[in-house]
Structures are given as structure tokens and as C-alpha cells.
Structure 1
Amino acid sequence: MKRTLRMVVAGVAVLAVSAVPAVASAGLGTRGGAGGVDRGGLQPALDGVAAGTAVGALAEVRAKEGVWRGTSGVAVMGTSRAVPVDGSFRAGSITKTFVATVLLQLVDEGRVRLDDSVERWLPGVVPNGRNITLRQLLNHTSGLYDYVRTLAMPPSPEFFAGRWRTWTASEQISQALAHPPTSEVPGSEYSYSNTGYLLLGQVIQKVTGRTYRQEIERPVIRPLGLRGTVVPGTSPWIPGPHPHGYVPTDLTLTHYVDYTELNPTLFGASGNMISTTKDLNRFFAALLGGRLLPKHLLKEMKTPGTPTRNYGLGLSWKTTTCGIRVYGNDGDALAYNAWSFSTTDGRHQVTIALTPNFHGDPDTAVNTFINKAICG
């Protein structure tokens, strides 16, 4: 779900954290790689991510020299248990790239058009739906209020009380639509909205007769052999080895609860996916390499909705310090954060995931790691 949830939690916590020393990242000596050449200090860069903002971190980097995998920090808070180098994690908004890929495959099949209105497929659901297109849902220019902003957040009791609740997309959409839009003219402004992807999940089901979960599995996960990737539906568990994720239970950030397990319908089509570093690198290599979409639709995917944002149709990009542009996405699933980026030729790839401790924003350290991975 991008990093909306983490940012909300951090925004609340920062009110009190200035007077509280940050907890040390336990077990920074607990780290390792699973083969491959550490090109110019990937391990120290990963340690830098874990040192300030994470309980644990894991990464896979692919380059001409080969594949490097590494970990840092610990898998379980308060122990010395190493983060599994092949561990699974909640991928958050990287799910959006999968959803966008499925929708664009339907466009390629002539079953739907990017400029179809929301009203065309979901009549009566969205006010002003006649003037909002599927393209605008994909690139976050619809102006629809983000449903995440309607949710209770830790450390409120309401947040913890809803841990096992099963959410439906319809009720989350209704909560969002009770608020005015963020812009009066659809398509005119970028405003990140998870609500748009809940609607896209419903459109996919309307067009195909199958859930977005089934559609991601059928033409993407299975053909690519993404054995560590699942769309869990209502299942609260993360299969296979994995680091544990945590959320704070007070504003001082001195007490945490293990939030590895929860009902993931909270995230829906905007972020309900579990994956691995290996699988995400494989997915983006296939996507950018033209295995999943024809060239003209991949070009559409890379086209920004507004000139001031590096976000196209479920795909974002950044320019590294060495001038190389990389495409991918990042995601927040509350107790897990992930980033996955690749060059267009797939020769340089990096995926990193962490379990945050909410002491600051990890973006700076993660960007340093991504630049190291791509530029050497």
C-alpha cells in the first residue's frame, strides 16, 4: 500500500519519539550472503539500512557479475535469529504492478480499454464515475479519497481490535467515497489512492468473472514460476521461512507487538501479496523484457499521469546517482516494507525488504543501497 500506513504510524509516533533514544538494531552482526560477489560493499550498505530503521532486512541483487543475496539484523526481535536469505514478506503496493499488468493484458485482448469510464464497468458505484477512467485509477489521478486514511492506526485500540477482521472492497470503497475527492477534475492532479486499485480489482472480476487474485495467479504467477509468491486472500499466515514484522503499541516506540499474522483483506487489491526477493526480480525482468505485455502497452505503463510524478500505470521509476533509470515499485504492508527496481534490459536488478522499527524513514538508506546495487 505504498508507504501510506507506515507514514501514518510514523507521523503519530514522531510526536513523542524526539525525547526517546532509538532502540538499537539488535544483532547487526547477524548477517550473511548466499553466494555471489559483494560488488563494492553491498553488505555494509544493507547493514546501513538495518542499523537505523529496521529490525531485519534482506536483499537480492542481480548484475553481470552474478547474483548476490544478503541479510542484516534479526528475524525475530529480541533474539539473534538470522533473517532467512530466501525469506517471504508482505509486498504491499508492489501488488499494484501485478494488478496493472493483469488489467493491461485484458486491454491487449480487447476486453477493456484504458479510457473506459469507471461507470462503464461499475455502474452507480463511484460519484462522477462517468468522468473517471481506468487509466486514472491506475496512475493515481482519479482524485478519489484514499481509503487507508479512513482506517484506525496504531497505537489506537481500534486498530488492534480489527486485526482479524475480514474487509470487503465494497465497504472500504464506501468509506473512502464518503469523503470529498482530492481534486475536482479527474486526471488533473496526482494523489496516491489505494481506493483506485480496489476498484480495479472489482473491474477485473466484472470483465473476467474471476477475482483479481485468480487473474494474477493464472497469467502471471504460474507462467513465471513464482513459487514464493501468493495472493493470500483471507489467510493470515506467511508461508515458508520469513522475518517477523512488528508495530508499536505506544507513542514512545519502546513496546511492540508481533504483527506478522493478520487478516490481509485490510490491503485488498492495493497490497494483498506475499513474495520473495527472487520472485520480484524475476517478475520485473519478465515485465520489462516484454514477456507479459506488448511494447505499446509497456510504453503506456511507463507513461506518467502527470509531468511532475514518476508514476505511470502501476509502475514507478527513479534515476540512480550514475544516471541509470530503473523501473519498479515499492510497497508498505504496515509491518513490512519492500522495494524492487530493474533496468529496462533486466541486467541490473535489486529487491530489498525490511521489517521496520518506525524510528525514522528508511528511504535514504534504501536509496543508498539501490544506488550501490545498480551503479556499483
Structure 2
Amino acid sequence: MDRHFLSLPKPLALRDMADLMVWPWFSLAKTPRRLPIVFEQSDVAILVEPTGALGLATIWDADLLLWVASRWTDILDIGRTPNRRLEVSPYRLLRDLGRGTGRHDYALLRAALDRLAATRVETTLRAGDLEGPARFRWLESWEPGKDGVVLTLPDWLFSAVCERRVLTLDPGYLALTGGLARWLYRLVRKMGGRQQGGGAIGLRRLHARSGSPARYANFVVGVRRIVAAGLPGYRLSIVRTGGEERLLFSRERTAANFSTTGCGRTVNALGTSLSDRIGTSALPVAGERAPDSESTPWPASPIRPYNVYNLNSNRILAADSKTPLPVDKPVRAGEVGS
């Protein structure tokens, strides 16, 4: 078991596994999804189904997998060999992912762990020499440990990171509140890469790739809202060509380097713009969605009544006591989490 995760000091450089970025693996909705994801294209077949009452793992639950992939990569970068069984600090994990550290946040984290462990995956993608698809769960097991939570990840994910099949994500990804926006950013990041030329994909193909059960017309409305609001680091547009609508995406140009010597001329109207709408969106509330849509990171249905709290060792425990111990106080600005 690798306990090195408990002492990694550097800030999180968010990384995603390339194989998770362009295919439908997770529910994009905040309400529990019990309908399986079934997808086939060419030689790629994917089946994702829940095995309990919690529903499919969501794209927000997948943040835990991104965190592990990021830390595995950190370990590889310093010349160490990671282990797919590891111990993590829930407090550190929540802080790295930009989430709160109150009692409710730990309860949500536990629910995410439960959904990841209860979601079964079958896929022909990277099935290797197996006769038939690879079969695994996003999380093989999790349990309280001495100094945190012990997670066992599937070899399918572990191998992808060890083979360096990972891409760095913009830190703004974690601030995206919509499930569809998160999925679309990952697809654009993988297909568009960092080249200025970008790429394009038909909206019907995009709908199929998402695995969303939403009607195509509703799906397109959601994509148009995302195009209007934008995604971190990319410019988006929708055009009609060849009888179909296509999403175009390209990298935003980096700001020019203004650290140069002066030209000797005066500057007029420094910091002003001739446009009174620069940086605004055509929508009154960019990305606004219905209450039961794919727009918030946590399920709307009640979570099982765990009294989840953080002990001095930062464990996640289920305590049915009527007088649970208090949670740790949130870290103040300038303090460093454990």
C-alpha cells in the first residue's frame, strides 16, 4: 500500500486519463441515474451500469479518479513507482478539489465513494489479451485506514497512468458546475489538444458520445448554452455544414507579452475598450438549467443518513451515534491543509 499520498506537498496539477475523455463513462445529471450507459462505435463497446440503489457514478464523482491520477503522475515524476492500493487524506482531497470540509462535504464524499464502488464497467477499450471486454468497478474497495482512507483502484485505470496516457486539465475545469459542460470540456481538450487548429464534431455524434438520455433537441439547447458561456481555454462555435450542425473548437490565443521596452509614444485611453459588451454573454444567466438538470455536482435525492465526521486522523467513518464528534474547522486563508 502506498502512503506517500499523505505527504505530497506540491499543489495539485489536475490530470485526466485520455481514455476517459471522449467516451460516455459517467452520469451527467445530479439526480440518480439508474439507466445503464450502452455505447458502441466501431471496435469500441462500453457498458456502464449501477449495481445498487445509489445509481451510476457521476462526472463529479470522477473528480476523485482525476485526483488519484494526478497524484500517481506526481509520484512517477519524482521517480517512484505508485501502487494501485493507496491511503489518502479526505481533508487533503477535498481541499485539492476546491470543495468544503464541513460535515456535509464529508457525507457527499462518502456517497461518491459508494457510487464509484457500486458502478460496474465493461469495455473493449484497452481490453488487451482478454477474451471479451475488460470488467471492473471504478473503485474496487475503500475502507478507513490508519491516517486516512484506503482506496484500491482497478488495474485498468492504474495501467493507463503508468503508461502516461494522461492529459493536463485547465484548473478552471473544477469550477464548471454543469455535468454536460464538464464532459464537453474533457472531449474538447482531448480532441482539440493544444494546437491552435482545434477540431470539429457533429452535434448528433456528440449527443451519442455523451451517453446522455436527454432528447437530442434538449441536448443541443444545452450545448448552445455552453457555447455562449465558453469553456476554459477554448473558443466554441456552432456552424451548419453539409446539412448538419457541427461544434467547432479551438484554443484561445495566449495574451501577448507586453514586457517590452517603451516605444516613446504616449498612450491614450489606457485600459478602455471601444466595445460596451466585451466579455458578456448573450444569455442573462450563462449555463442556467432546470432544477433537475445536469447543472450541479451533487444528487438532489437525500443521501443515506450517515453521521460522517473527520477525526484527527482525517478518516471518513459512518457513525450512527446521536452525538457525533464535531468536524474539523475549515482551514483559514493562508493555512496549509494536512
Bigger share in strand: 2
TM-score calculated relative to the size of structure 1: 0.27
Bigger share in helix: 1
